[in-house]
Structure 1
Amino acid sequence: MKNIQVIDDARNCTYSLFAVSEKDFEALFPEKTDIAFPDEIAERLGERRGGALLAKLWTRPVDKKTAQGIHGTLFYGLDHKKKLYPTRREAGMDPRAFNAAQRRLMRI
């Protein structure tokens, strides 16, 4: 199982985690990406399949205190963040967005 953190534009956003199978994760985050936006999922997979995968996601919440990592981030209502993630990989962001320790960890 892979964990996905959901970040939305709500003032009360909880940054919740949800689990998906490896297969579903690969569909939602293709080519080793770790950032996704719902409209791009729907465009890539189609409304029906993309919607079904996202609907399944909501049924598998994960307690953050027991989570074994965060493997992807799904942004809702935050299209302005697309320009920050041009490669749809967190490591693809401008290196100045990370502190020195993070850059060493990520080798950027």
Structure 2
Amino acid sequence: MKNIQIIDGAVNATFSVFQATDEEFDAIFPQGRDIELVEDLLDRLGDEAAGLVLAPMWSRPILKRDVVGIHGTLFYDNVDRRTHIPQSKREVDWDSGAINQAQRDLFARHR
């Protein structure tokens, strides 16, 4: 199972984490991505197929204190973030001006 943190526009700002099977994860985050906007997921898979991928995941929440790693971030109601997300939708590809030196060094080792 892989852990996906949901970043949404909710006022409660809980940013819950849910578990996905490897197959679900690969459908949500293809080609080595670890960042996705739900609007792009819906465009890519279509509403019905995306719903079939996401529905089982919603029944597998996990407490943050029990999470051993976050494997992906799925954004809801955050289209305005699109200009800030790397085009590759991979964490390791953030613009070097947006992260600190330790992150630049870490990400360079994982590209």
TM-score (norm 1): 0.93
Partner residue in 2 for 1:92: 93
How many angstroms does 1:80 deviate by? Answer: 1.0
Count of residues in correspondence between the two structures: 108
Q: What are the ranges of 5 or more consecutive residues in structure 2 without an aligned counterpart?
A: none
Where has structure 1 moved over 6 Å in runs of 4 or more? none
Q: How does 1:16-55 map to 2 (within 5 A)?
A: 16-55=16-55
Identity score, percent: 42
Tell which deviates more after alignment, 98-107 or 1-10: 98-107
Q: Does 1:59 align with 2:59?
A: yes
Q: What are the ranges of 5 or more consecutive residues in structure 1 without an aligned counterpart?
A: none
Partner residue in 2 for 1:78: 78
CA distance in 2, matches of 1:91, 1:82: 16
CA distance in 1, matches of 2:84, 2:93: 9
CA distance in 1, matches of 2:37, 2:54: 11
CA distance in 2, matches of 1:104, 1:92: 12
CA distance in 1, matches of 2:107, 2:36: 19
How many angstroms does 1:92 deviate by? Answer: 1.9
**Kept in 1: contact 2:24–2:54 (CA 8 A):** no
Aligned residue for 2:55, secondary structure, equals helix
Q: Does 1:14 align with 2:14?
A: yes
How many angstroms does 1:65 deviate by? Answer: 0.9
The CA RMSD over aligned residues, in Å, is 1.3
CA distance in 2, matches of 1:13, 1:67: 18
How many angstroms does 1:91 deviate by? Answer: 1.8
